[in-house]
Structure 1
């Protein structure tokens, strides 16, 4: 049986509340008993017992050893059980592999008449046990990958040269429990306006999502080469979408000179084909689940 080991003492004026082991004839006990097991007692909903070793040698030094352990007769414990308990003011974790907590005190100090532990060859041991209920909250993070998701959304933009808005959007599509859309700026934006096509992946209706929402996404954006399959595609992005960053991509995705070059194959019959490919996304669940 493995055990946790604690060396030291503490003092108090109030007797322990849960169990007391009193030894009236300490000297004969030391010479006659190597180990004493108390009766089983109940504290904080579990069955316990005290294990007393009157003179236990540890690294060549004799000690008084008092152990608190879960009773083997406690049939209420489920497989894989674990108990966190405050024992005389200190937190200990009990489980099937490590079911005993040991307190050591030097034997010579314990039996010293000036220490106060022994009086008229009598001593008293006690224990208080308060189980700490596990109320921890947490989360479990996993990533869904290509094998788990429908990952590519294709957006065909016809009559591209007739677009007049600075910004246009694809139809909304669902992936990873969120709704998304592609955002395209035909003439670019900000410092790239008049120079490049800008392209982004954007969360649709983020105001409808729960406070503090966030989604980690790995994705690619591309404009298809409809002639030779030499598509314009940037390296995959890893981005955390959240209230502060609802849209992410490239302002300089494709130079307008390349877009309008018929040899590049991006514009065919005044049609542009844009794709958003979601490679992986995060999934967070409450823990434990």
Structure 2
């Protein structure tokens, strides 16, 4: 007889696991079934060991009663900006962030078709993920997203935030200044234990 249980992870907090009801004593002791022969019974178990460096668990902390952090930038000389404008680093819930505005768009789009806007995590500890709700706005255009940010995840945002042709025509530039607002609400933090 072969019984498959649910794969389980054994670690320092719980050192034993198993199946509480494998077979009834009546069935086990029934000579016609052949489980007990000559007052002996043989049991076996397959154990698969995962190397410690492959084992990852996470501790999730939900951030309650958090207040959104709002940042505003006035970016002068918008028409003279290079490929990217980057904000100074700023902190939200002990984590550092940076806003990157690509006035002529990103490489994956036709050059000069869209302005791109991203949020980039800076200096996150390894094995740490931060879930944040992000609202990004240029004067009156608002876009938002939820994302799990990590140290290696790079910037997240909108490659096609607004058509460059609409920036001036739509009144989103005032005296060649662009006004960027970002609002970040950290919702949860997950820390991996290796």
DSSP 3-state at the match of 2:174: coil
Instruction: State the shift of 1:285 in Å.
Output: 5.8
TM-score by length of 2: 0.64
Q: CA RMSD in A?
A: 3.5
User: Of 125, 129, 146, which aligns to 1:210?
Assistant: 125
Query: Could you say if the C-alpha distance between residues 91 and 85 of structure 1 is closer, same or farther in structure 2, counting changes exceeding 3 Å?
Result: farther
Answer 1 or 2: which has greater strand percent: 1
Query: 2:50 — aligned with what?
Result: none
* Partner Cα separation in structure 1 for residue 106 and residue 88 of structure 2: 21
**Where does the alignment leave 5 or more consecutive residues of structure 1 unmatched?**
1-83, 94-103, 110-115, 118-136, 225-230
User: Of 221, 226, 251, which aligns to 2:159?
Assistant: 251
Q: Does 1:220 align with 2:138?
A: no
* Partner Cα separation in structure 2 for residue 152 and residue 260 of structure 1: 25
* Partner Cα separation in structure 1 for residue 96 and residue 183 of structure 2: 14
Q: Report the count of equivalent residues.
A: 156
Residues 174-215 of structure 1 deviation map (CA, whole Å, 9 limit, x = unaligned): 0132100100011112224211111000012x3xx4332322
Q: Which has the larger radius of gyration?
A: 1
TM-score by length of 1: 0.45
* Partner Cα separation in structure 1 for residue 19 and residue 84 of structure 2: 61
Structure having greater relative contact order (Cα 8 Å, sep ≥ 6): 2
DSSP 3-state at the match of 1:211: coil
Query: 2:32 — aligned with what?
Result: none
User: Of 141, 144, 147, which aligns to 1:239?
Assistant: 147
